[in-house]
Structure 1
Amino acid sequence: MPATHPMMRIHRTTLELCTRKPIEIIDITRAAEDAVAGSGLKDGLLTLVSRHTTACLNINEQEERLMEDIETFLKRLAPKDGNYLHNLQPIDGRDNAHSHLLGLFMNTTETIPFSEGRLMLGRWQSIFFIELDGPRPERSVLMQATGI
């Protein structure tokens, strides 16, 4: 008798965010865990997608001083007051070339496996939404769980 395989399913949700600082690091681990729990899936992959060119996703350690170090590092890497051609004719009136340049070194997607309905993150890992061009009243992260 041939083996049967459970049908692959997809569950999508969107996390809506409002940012308050020019560079802001927001821990979205709980929202990602809730997305998996709400999907009803036990095993699969959770893919997170930032729908912005100046806001990214990252997996790192949640530690207060490290968060400050990351923000300081980003500000030094591409200073807001740099001489950037993009700022001569900004599309939306924002001098945000530095934000786009920082985005070159970061991810707009992260994919994390889950098993038994739980994300398979390491002990010190958290998921962060990183605003590079805030404050912004509307930001979003698509969260798609695919699995069985």
Structure 2
Amino acid sequence: MQPLELLSNTRRRCIVVKRTRYFFEERGYMASYSQDIVIDVDRLNKTEVFGVSIRWGNLTKAIGKVVLQSKIVQGVILAQSHHTTTTLLLNEDESGLLETDIGKMLRRLFPAVIRYAHDDEERLAYLRKTVDPEEHGNGDRHCMAALLGQPSIPLVLQGSTPVLGRWQSVLFFDLDAEGRHTRRVTIHVQGDGRLLVFFGRLKNAFFSLWRKSSRVRDEENFRPHTVQN
């Protein structure tokens, strides 16, 4: 068995195959920028614990690239997944946690032997006829996604960099990747743009000097004059 430090080095990175549908808008001193990133599921890290197959990847660098493209210095970042059996988690990118602990926890909470109402045979038969011929029962995966993380994660943006703790990373989990090749996540950035921040500070400095000079003039105008005899 490889030691944990070697396992962490052999894991593959989350690969973003392309970025699509970006949108940029400026209003006053605020700017907003949205961009979709498409994730190659086959190149995500994969682990299987007690029958739970999980794929995951670290999206922190991909989010950082979107932020740099947005040219927004400070504000708020929102990352949102488009899928009900995927989830986003703000936690440590550590091999023991991701490859073993999370899978064990999920299987203990959602065993495969119980019946999930989401997997009702009549409902699945209807979906196979009307929506997707390959629709399958995955009620346990929906429950796992609901508990493990959130469909979206907000982050504070300061100095063109997401504010994260020392061990924090934005992790993407796919709990039902069988037969799927791509997943989509939208990154939305909103706040002050680079030029907008510069001109905003310049404007504030100008008005500060103007108010100070106005106050000095007012004091001089209302200064009492001495009457000479």
- The TM-score, its normalising length taken from structure 2, stands at 0.59
Q: Which amino acid aligns with 2:144?
A: L
Q: Is 1:66 paired with 2:97? A: yes
Match of 1:127? 170
Match of 1:113? 156
Q: For 2:83, which of 52, 68, 73 is the aligned residue?
A: 52
Per-residue CA shift, 1:42-93, capped at 9, x if unaligned?
0011100011111010100011111121123223322345322222233341
Partners of 1:76 and 1:15 lie apart in 2 by 33
CA displacement at 1:103 relative to structure 2 = 2.4
Q: CA RMSD in A?
A: 1.8
Aligned ranges 1:81-120 → 2 under 5 Å = 81-87=113-119, 88=121, 89-90=123-124, 91=127, 92=132, 93-105=135-147, 106-120=149-163
Partners of 1:79 and 1:39 lie apart in 2 by 43
Q: For 1:145, which of 189, 199, 209 is the aligned residue?
A: 189
**Unaligned stretches of 5+ residues in structure 1:** 1-5
Moved over 4 A (4+): none
Taking every aligned residue pair, what percent have the same amino acid on both sides? 29
Pick closer, same or farther for the CA change 1:38–1:107 going to 2, 3 Å. Answer: same
Match of 1:7? 29
**Unaligned stretches of 5+ residues in structure 2:** 1-27, 47-52, 193-229
Q: Is 1:30 paired with 2:97? A: no
Q: Which has the higher helix share?
A: 2
Partners of 1:96 and 1:42 lie apart in 2 by 41
Q: How many residues align?
A: 144
